[in-house]
Amino acid sequence: MREIKFPENFLWGGATSASQFEGGYTKSGKGLTVSDVLTAGSKNRNRKITWAFPNSDEIQYSDVGGFWGDITVNDEGVIKVFQNEYYPSHNASDFYSRYEEDLALLHELGLKSYRMSISWSRIYPNGDDEIPNQEGLKFYRQIFELCHKYHIKPIVTLEHYDVPLGITVKYGGWKNRRVIDLFVRYAETVITEYKNFVDYWIPFNEINSVTVETFKNAGMLKCNDGDRAQAAYNKFLASALTYKIAKKIRPDFQIGCMVAMTLSYPKTCAPEDQFEALKRCREYDSFLDVLVKGTYPNYKLIEYKQKNIKLNIETKDEEILSQSCVDFIGFSYYTSGVVTKQKVENELHLLGPTNPYLKTNAWGWGIDPLGLRYSLNYLYDRYKKPLFIVENGYGDNDIIENGSIKDNERIDYMKSHLLSVSDAINIDGVNVIGYTPWGIIDCISLGTGEIKKRYGVIYVDVDSEGKGSFSRIKKQSFYWYQNVIKTNGKDL
């Protein structure tokens, strides 16, 4: 008989991010972030940066939708917010005004942990200010005090797709080594400030997307392969230095990393397809090897040499990286992909051809709970570090009927994936420490800025144009997940 069991101290939780959930984009002295200058998009329409030529109020748009592409803002252009344009992050789900209500709901849900992010620009509005913004520090302190009251452990990400716009404009984003010191100063400020409230810290969200989501993740506009590689390297160093400082502040802090994980199956048993799958795995490994082992894999160094990429490395970097490796690995998992050496028409971005063996959601993503178990085994076999599933979930266009939301598909998705987690723990011996499904309360999409692709067990009454009451409604999945947590997974 299948044993369904989770550790007694398992961190059942939920996840959101400042740029997709918080709102209050200029309140408490907050400065602009890269997310604050992004318009709304859709499945078929990319989000855009808004800017203007000097001494002009005529709005200009630059596309940020493509992977690996440059952002074509004129060298003299001024990136700015325009009054008559809609920017989803400005209000998002209005957690800024409703955090007391929302945290009370999360307490009612029974959460043991809450993964959230601090907005760098709410603490240092331009990213490089001389002193921290006290109003911003007070805002997050109020949140952490409530979490403490409700016995909810905050899992805090320090940068989650919201690089301060000042870092982009003044320094060119994360390709500039000067940004390392600015980030580490910010990290030291908040880790010191909240040392009695937060035990778990993650410096960067989905650090491996720095080379593909160059503006959202790294605050970079025009960039080449060398810039992307340098940005990744600089984030590795910033993560290691954050680890080092955090351990001095409180040695028992748990400092992790976070990668986006999308398992890729070979389309056929052809050796070429098998090797493509290996190459896709290595894209994750090349980041985790540095963060967990403190060194680049040989194949990545060879790739850089072949591309004539020369990283800006200083004398003590190697020692810093090797001596400040993370305590746990956090990762996001939503779906799996398929890879092939052959060219495929209409493939879904990085997911590749459709997998005929999987059911899909409305967005074409395959539902693959066994892929999560596979990923857990793969990561644990390779790194032997505790694993934390910090994002997972089912996005859907939820409909209110007679005042209630019956989201059975979400329940089925979460149940099947949690059963796979249980199998990984009890059959495979994987050390999994927690599960925080994404958008536990509905929040806007990073990719499109829409909210109609909802992940939450709590509904937010707002549409993809920012219109609505912002009131909260518990979905059917709320009561299901509440019972799962209450029984520590026994009632799956």
Residues 269 and 348 sit within 8 Å (Cβ to Cβ)? no
Query: Residue type for 196, please?
Result: N
Query: Residue type for 146, please?
Result: L
Structure tokens at 314: 């200083």
Structure tokens at 351: 């997911």
Structure tokens at 183: 């980030």
Structure tokens at 271: 């050796």
Residue 100, judged by CB atoms within 10 A of its CB (0-12, 13-18, 19+), counts as: exposed
Angle at 437 between CA 67 and CA 379, to 5 degrees: 70
Q: What is d(CA 229, CA 232) in angstroms, rounded to the nearest whole number?
A: 5
Angle at 313 between CA 215 and CA 192, to 5 degrees: 65
- Residues 6 or more apart whose CB falls under 8 angstroms from that of 254 comprise 199, 200, 201, 327, 328
Query: In terms of residues, how long is the chain?
Result: 492
Which of 22, 159, 193, 206 is catalytic? The answer is: 206
Provide DSSP, 159-187.
Answer: ESS--BHHHHHHH-STTSTHHHHHHHHHH
Which of 22, 276, 391, 450 is catalytic? The answer is: 391
Q: In the annotation, is 391 catalytic?
A: yes
Q: What is d(CA 442, CA 426) in angstroms, rounded to the nearest whole number?
A: 32
What is the β-pairing status of strands 48-52 and 78-79?
antiparallel
Q: Is 122 helix (H, G, I), strand (E, B) or coil?
A: helix
Question: Measured between alpha carbons, how far is residue 310 from residues 143, 230, 306 in Å?
Answer: 43, 9, 10
Beta bridge partners of 38: 49
- Residues 6 or more apart whose CB falls under 8 angstroms from that of 447 comprise 41, 47
CB atoms within 10 A of CB 205: 27
Q: In the annotation, is 101 catalytic?
A: no
- Residues 6 or more apart whose CB falls under 8 angstroms from that of 298 comprise none
Structure tokens at 94: 């209005």
Query: Residue type for 25, please?
Result: Y
- Residues 6 or more apart whose CB falls under 8 angstroms from that of 365 comprise 334, 335, 348, 351, 395
Which of 226, 236, 240 shows the shortest CA–CA distance to 311? 226
The helix (run of H) or strand (run of E) holding residue 382 is helix 369-383
Residue 363, CB-side half-sphere exposure with 13 Å CA sphere: 21
Residues designated catalytic: 206, 391
